[in-house]
Amino acid sequence: MKITFVTPPYHSGIPELAGRWLPLGFVYLAGSARKAGVTAEIYDAMAKGDGYPEIEARLKHSHPDYVATSAMTATVNDAVKTLQLAKRLDPKTVTILGGIHPSFMYQEILSSCGEIDYIVIGEGEVTLRELLETLERGGSPAAVPGLAFRENGEVVTTGKRALVQDLDALPAAWDLVEWEQYQYFVIADSRFGAVSTSRGCDHGCSFCSQQAFWERTWRPRDPQAVADEMEHLYRTYQVNVFLITDECPNRDAGRWEAFLDALIAKDLPLHLIMETRVTDLIRDREIAWKYRKAGVVHVSIGIESGIQKRLDELRKETRTDEVKQALEIIHGNGMVSEASFLVGFPDETVESIKETLKTAQQYNPDNANFYPITPWPYSELYEELKPHITEWDYSKYNYIESIMEPTRMSKRQLDVAIVECFRKFYMGKIFEVMTMKDTFRRGYIMRTTKLIMSSTFIMKKLSVGAINAIPAKIDEVTNKLKG
């Protein structure tokens, strides 16, 4: 028996600018399928740039008994369409869907799509293995915790699945990865991999869904085991750039330093990209040099807002005066910074977005992203922000498209304002970057900026901004007259 894991062919335009990203979850799921005695394969249609005709041809050729995919909110439409295609090609194919959106929205999906047989709720490795084992021996899936499916026309769920405590025991099917297709375009001659050093988040940011998915828990892997895994991937598959996929990789200071020390001892020519919190960076000020020595070159932080009241409302657990300190730590140790800002709140105005841009310019990260606030349909903020939502197509829930309209701005104004934030921020940094003494940071930032500005997607967005600038100004005047 065979299972094919397929990434849905969804493209939003922005994430793919920097590289082709490994679907790490499939590596672990494929390993679990093997433990169930099922042959597994990973088909990354998204990375290949394949569409539905190519997916159809691949499934016809492979003829799997099971087809599985995963989805977040933006990709769920294409994930469903992929499984519908598999079912149309062979009605006997068992279709399985997992991921964060289906874990919360299984009722909606199963009620509207008869082609999906099973939805895995929450962490999937053990549930998938037990489901496959059960189906292979002709047992009842009702005995497998962590599932949703239809029974007698009704959507039913099985018992709750406990989270995996020993993450290092999960089998990883690294040999199934088509490594040649994964590159990080910012670094020449790179092979781009991904590792997870921990899972979960126990913080309470109201706009995020990670803490809900992971049940407000955080579980670490053994730091030496992770370092050994990275060495294995480097020596076996020549992986030299790693995305650390954790929400909170350095939550535990002692464990994180042990991980850095283990990598430093291996003395491998690796580049690491990570996301972290402002407060954790400040805590690690004295060992920040170890980040860089271990290979960390790119650090992303979610600033979200320069207004303390807004940060408190979002339960961000950050003070505005801490942000500058964190960025200084990143830059002072030769790493590149990336910062995100949220705009488009119900009380947003043209002037408040200009203030957000001004804040970004004052903080001066190397790269800045200005994202329209996007309430996931299972997030804490959803009901509060629902009256302002104007876009119900899940494919637009990607932090790039605006799905809400503020009370005192039109959606067109919001789009133009976001485009202006990007344009003015990056135009304002040209001289600084060109004269930067740190040659690594200078080259890295120049390459990322070139990738951004040469993207047809970005160019389209900028053109849309220019085209809509005059109508947006009319909207602004109209709103002022109303007010």
Q: What are the chain's domains?
A: 2-157 (3.40.50.2300), 175-475 (3.80.30.20)
Between CA 185 and CA 15 the distance in angstroms is 12
Between CA 481 and CA 337 the distance in angstroms is 41
CA atoms 221, 222, 224, 228: torsion sign: negative
- Asked whether the predicted pLDDT for residue 281 surpasses 60, the reply is yes
Between CA 419 and CA 357 the distance in angstroms is 11
Q: What are the structure tokens assigned to 332, written together?
A: 């002072």
Nearest one of 109, 201, 93, 208 to 149, comparing CA atoms: 109
Can you tell me the mean pLDDT for 273-282? 93
Per DSSP, the three-state class of 237 is helix
Lookup result for tokens 């291996």: 266
Can you tell me the mean pLDDT for 152-167? 94
- Asked whether the predicted pLDDT for residue 144 surpasses 60, the reply is yes
Between CA 292 and CA 264 the distance in angstroms is 10
Nearest one of 256, 340, 250, 325 to 285, comparing CA atoms: 325
> Would you tell me how many other CB atoms lie within 10 Å of the CB of residue 35?
17
Quickly state the pLDDT bin for 320 (edges 50, 70, 90).
Answer: confident
Q: In 3-state terms, the chain is what percent helix, strand and coil (to 5)? A: 50, 15, 35
- Asked whether the predicted pLDDT for residue 476 surpasses 70, the reply is no
What are the tens digits of pLDDT across the range 390-417? 999 999 998 888 999 999 999 889 988 9
pLDDT for 481: 53
Interacting residues of 26 by C-beta distance below 8 A, sequence separation 6+: 5, 7, 42, 44, 70
Query: Which whole-number Å values give the CA distances from 90 to 3, 40, 67, 151, in the listed order?
Result: 14, 18, 11, 21
pLDDT for 353: 93
Q: 36-50, 255-269, 375-389: which has the minimum mean pLDDT?
A: 375-389
Quickly state the pLDDT bin for 51 (edges 50, 70, 90).
Answer: very high
CA atoms 109, 110, 115, 119: torsion sign: positive
Can you tell me the mean pLDDT for 262-284? 96
pLDDT for 215: 74
CA atoms 291, 292, 293, 297: torsion sign: positive
List, as own/partner pairs, every contact residues 266-269 make where C-beta atoms lie below 8 angstroms and the sequence separation is at least 24, other chains included: 266/227, 266/230, 266/231, 268/230, 268/231, 268/234, 268/295, 269/240, 269/295
Give percent of the chain above pLDDT 70. 91
pLDDT for 471: 60
- Asked whether the predicted pLDDT for residue 208 surpasses 80, the reply is no
Q: 230-239, 288-297, 365-374, 468-477: which has the minimum mean pLDDT?
A: 468-477
What are the tens digits of pLDDT across the range 326-360? 999 999 999 999 999 999 999 999 999 999 999 99
Q: What are the structure tokens assigned to 211, written together?
A: 């803490």
Specify the pairing of strand 241-244 against strand 271-276. parallel
Residues 3/39, Cβ–Cβ less than 8 Å:
yes
DSSP state of 216: T
- Asked whether the predicted pLDDT for residue 465 surpasses 70, the reply is no
